[in-house]
Structure 1
Amino acid sequence: MGKFITFGEIMLRLAPAGFERFAQAKEFGAVYGGGEANVAVSLANYGKDAYFVTKLPKHEIGQAAVNELRKYGVNSSMIVRGGDRVGIYYCEKGASQRPSKVIYDRAYSAIAEAKREDFNWKEIFNNAEWFHFTGITPALSDECAAITLDAVKAAKEAGVMVSCDLNFRKKLWSSEKAGKVMGEIVKYCDVVIANEEDAEKVFGISAEGTDITGGTINGEGYKEVARKLTDRFNLKYVAITLRESFSASDNGWSAMLYNGKDFYSSKKYRMHIVDRVGGGDSFGAGLIYGLTSGLTNQDALEYAVAASCLKHTVEGDFNLVSKDEVETLMNGDASGRVQR
């Protein structure tokens, strides 16, 4: 089995207890997380040889982030050490009609100030099978965008499958800049993962008949989105997660997959949310696992959606569920009955 490489930023997440608002909080719980780190943890949990690549300070907070990855079986040997800051984000959990809120304090983090010469991609991709990143990483700085472009080029030269979750973040860059930068990077990708609005925000490709704010999702419209992405970038797969937001507490959750020829649609789950952060990352990890573990396209999609559904019940960024738990839900047992 080859190495599964992910590249991005791991941050310190600070959150008020329960559903307290920031203004109420007298203390903040601390965990670590970040898009590509979340994917690495899931892949390691499913038995893959997962590596996380980033840059972290040598001080104790940076080491604590490394230790957290190691705790869950992620190989940290390719993490570059240096810089002064670990990025922070504050997360206030929403409930009912009050949305969750995220405030970033990630400027000047070690990875945001990383240099192209920090990473030896030829060495990193030796014996690698898969490389995953998100659109968050090239948004961190112009240098990070250049580093990501170096990475995908090196991955293709090494014959490594490349996946990208578009993950548009308007607090990090504009749609115009995202489209320009990602338009160059995605040329080297095999798999693109997007939520119901990423393709529109990044590439101006929208689905007809959809009202995201109103919670109306038109699955047929997203087939055209998948076709256009595939045709533009010559992709092997496009996966789109479809979230129906009834409220901050209750969502509908499903996804579709396109392999350039056939469309696959998953079953739909109605979720009562404990923590939705990392939901998309858990889908991406589940899809990567399914596509590399002998599952059919339909089953790979169902595995990814079930894994992500379960993540919404887990506190923190990481999806701490087993393969058996994912397969149980995937195979139809959504009862939630106590296991004795």
Structure 2
Amino acid sequence: MNGKILNFGEILLRICPDLSQDWVGAGALPFFVGGAELNVASALATWGLPSAYLSAMPQNDITLGILEHLKGRKVDLDHMLLQGNRLGLYYLPKGKDVKHAGVIYDRADSAFANLSRSDMDWPSIFKGVSWFHFSAICPAISQEMADICLDAVKEAKRQNIFVSLDLNYRSKLWKYGKQPIEVMPDLAVYSDLIMGNVWAAQQMLGTSLVPELKEVKESYARGVLEEQAKKTSLELVSRFEKCKFVANTFRFDYLEKGIQYFTTLFGEEQLLISEEYRAEEILDKVGSGDCFMAGLIYGLYQEIGMRDTLEFATAAAFDKLFIASDATESSVAGIQKRIKR
């Protein structure tokens, strides 16, 4: 491939109050610019690929500063829509006793959430594009956004553009009367690469799940996970004719053992399983899955082979766990040093 890789999604500010301290009295809140698709776009630009990003944000001094920062990271923003009244935010507390606190969203009525189908001239937007990436976070926002995504992937098919879909599931966003299973299959029909995990695929695309994996546990037998990955992959490529590749991530957080991480990639009628990575402590979980997605795009775009693609993507995702930001800052060379041989 030699065209642009266009990433479409909502640009967000992540705000991180530290609950172990008097963050109110300190008068300071760490923040990061992110959003799942922007994290992918930033990684690809850092790794030297022609990465573009499309979102919507209001035009003011704050957002112009964000735009300049992203341009400095070599992200193509030619189609960024400067309109609307606010930028979406989300809060992710850190510090003591926040394991189950979860994300707090403040993104209703954002510039991106208020986009309409008439705002999007997909035939023009796709000029010079050979890869289109989006995630399930977009159609979770509203029916209008789901329709925008469907318009996009249909036009991508007409122009023979490769489409990748990340099955990010955000239960707090699906609030407009539709369940993911009612929306996502229509989008998966147009996807060449579907990435997520076996539980997200079951919930969003209706794939089957073995009984052992229907129960929430701290750990599962490795063989069961690998067999499920193969089963899910075969179901998806059989059901969705355009789907050529299926990738799954497996990350488990053990209180005593730390992090266990491995992934799979199905394509060309075979399932590949990555090396396994472990760590006792990490710095930041946010963006690891996005970095894995970016690694898959990096390898498949350059046709370096499925095995090398999988190992690069897995090492990139694991490496991201030790970076305190939404997007990776590691170079290709730095990630390659992390790859287990």
Report the counterpart of residue 151 of structure 2 in structure 1: 150
Q: What residue identity is the alignment partner of 2:271?
A: F
SS at match of 2:202: helix
Tell me the CA shift for residue 203 of structure 1.
2.3
Question: Compared with structure 1, are the counterparts of its residues 315 and 187 closer, same or farther at alpha carbon in structure 2 (3 Å cutoff)?
Answer: same
SS at match of 1:52: strand
Moved over 6 A (4+): 21-25
- Whether 1:231 and 2:267 are equivalent positions in the alignment is no
Count of residues in correspondence between the two structures: 332
Report the counterpart of residue 72 of structure 1 in structure 2: 73
Tell me the CA shift for residue 317 of structure 1.
0.4
Question: Compared with structure 1, are the counterparts of its residues 190 and 58 closer, same or farther at alpha carbon in structure 2 (3 Å cutoff)?
Answer: same
Question: Percent sequence identity over matched residues?
Answer: 35
Report the counterpart of residue 336 of structure 1 in structure 2: none
> Equivalent of 1:202, from 170, 188, 204?
204
Report the counterpart of residue 324 of structure 2 in structure 1: 315
- Provide the rounded CA distance (Å) in 2 between the counterparts of 1:248 and 1:160: 45
Q: What residue identity is the alignment partner of 1:252?
A: Q
Report which stretch shifted further, 218-227 or 107-116.
Answer: 218-227
Mapping of 1:6-25 within 5 angstroms?
6-17=7-18, 20=21
Q: What residue identity is the alignment partner of 2:315?
A: A
Report the counterpart of residue 285 of structure 1 in structure 2: 294
> Equivalent of 1:294, from 303, 306, 330?
303
TM-score, with length taken from structure 1: 0.91
SS at match of 1:193: strand
> Residue deviations 1:104-163, cap 9 Å, x none?
100000000001121211111112111100000111111111111111111111111000
SS at match of 2:201: helix
**Matched-pair contact (CA < 8 Å) for 1:257–1:265:** yes
- The two structures, once aligned, show a CA RMSD in angstroms of 2.3
SS at match of 1:240: strand
> Equivalent of 2:259, from 245, 251, 265?
251
**Matched-pair contact (CA < 8 Å) for 1:249–1:273:** no
Structure 1 segments unaligned to the other structure (5+ residues): 333-340
**Matched-pair contact (CA < 8 Å) for 2:19–2:96:** no
Question: Compared with structure 1, are the counterparts of its residues 116 and 268 closer, same or farther at alpha carbon in structure 2 (3 Å cutoff)?
Answer: same
Q: What residue identity is the alignment partner of 1:329?
A: R
Question: Compared with structure 1, are the counterparts of its residues 94 and 155 closer, same or farther at alpha carbon in structure 2 (3 Å cutoff)?
Answer: farther
- Whether 1:214 and 2:218 are equivalent positions in the alignment is yes
- Provide the rounded CA distance (Å) in 1 between the counterparts of 2:256 and 2:13: 23
SS at match of 1:228: helix
- Whether 1:265 and 2:273 are equivalent positions in the alignment is yes
- Provide the rounded CA distance (Å) in 2 between the counterparts of 1:309 and 1:47: 20
- Provide the rounded CA distance (Å) in 1 between the counterparts of 2:72 and 2:18: 24
**Matched-pair contact (CA < 8 Å) for 1:94–1:100:** no
Tell me the CA shift for residue 60 of structure 1.
2.1
Q: What residue identity is the alignment partner of 1:189?
A: S
SS at match of 2:7: strand
Q: What residue identity is the alignment partner of 1:58?
A: Q
Tell me the CA shift for residue 85 of structure 1.
0.8
Tell me the CA shift for residue 176 of structure 1.
5.7
Tell me the CA shift for residue 11 of structure 1.
0.4
TM-score, with length taken from structure 2: 0.91
Tell me the CA shift for residue 91 of structure 1.
0.9
> Residue deviations 1:14-50, cap 9 Å, x none?
1124865978874311211000000000010111111
Q: What residue identity is the alignment partner of 1:215?
A: S
- Provide the rounded CA distance (Å) in 1 between the counterparts of 2:163 and 2:103: 29
**Matched-pair contact (CA < 8 Å) for 1:10–1:37:** yes
Question: Compared with structure 1, are the counterparts of its residues 28 and 220 closer, same or farther at alpha carbon in structure 2 (3 Å cutoff)?
Answer: same
**Matched-pair contact (CA < 8 Å) for 2:18–2:94:** no
- Provide the rounded CA distance (Å) in 2 between the counterparts of 1:244 and 1:16: 25
Tell me the CA shift for residue 197 of structure 1.
2.1
> Equivalent of 1:188, from 187, 190, 198?
190
Tell me the CA shift for residue 93 of structure 1.
2.8
Report the counterpart of residue 112 of structure 1 in structure 2: 113
Q: What residue identity is the alignment partner of 1:269?
A: Y
- Provide the rounded CA distance (Å) in 1 between the counterparts of 2:23 and 2:143: 32
> Residue deviations 1:274-315, cap 9 Å, x none?
000011100000001011123111110111000000000000
**Matched-pair contact (CA < 8 Å) for 1:227–1:260:** no
- Provide the rounded CA distance (Å) in 2 between the counterparts of 1:249 and 1:72: 36
Report which stretch shifted further, 32-41 or 265-274.
Answer: 265-274
> Residue deviations 1:73-101, cap 9 Å, x none?
10111101100010000011367993563
> Residue deviations 1:199-238, cap 9 Å, x none?
1221232432335542325221221111111111121000
SS at match of 1:270: strand
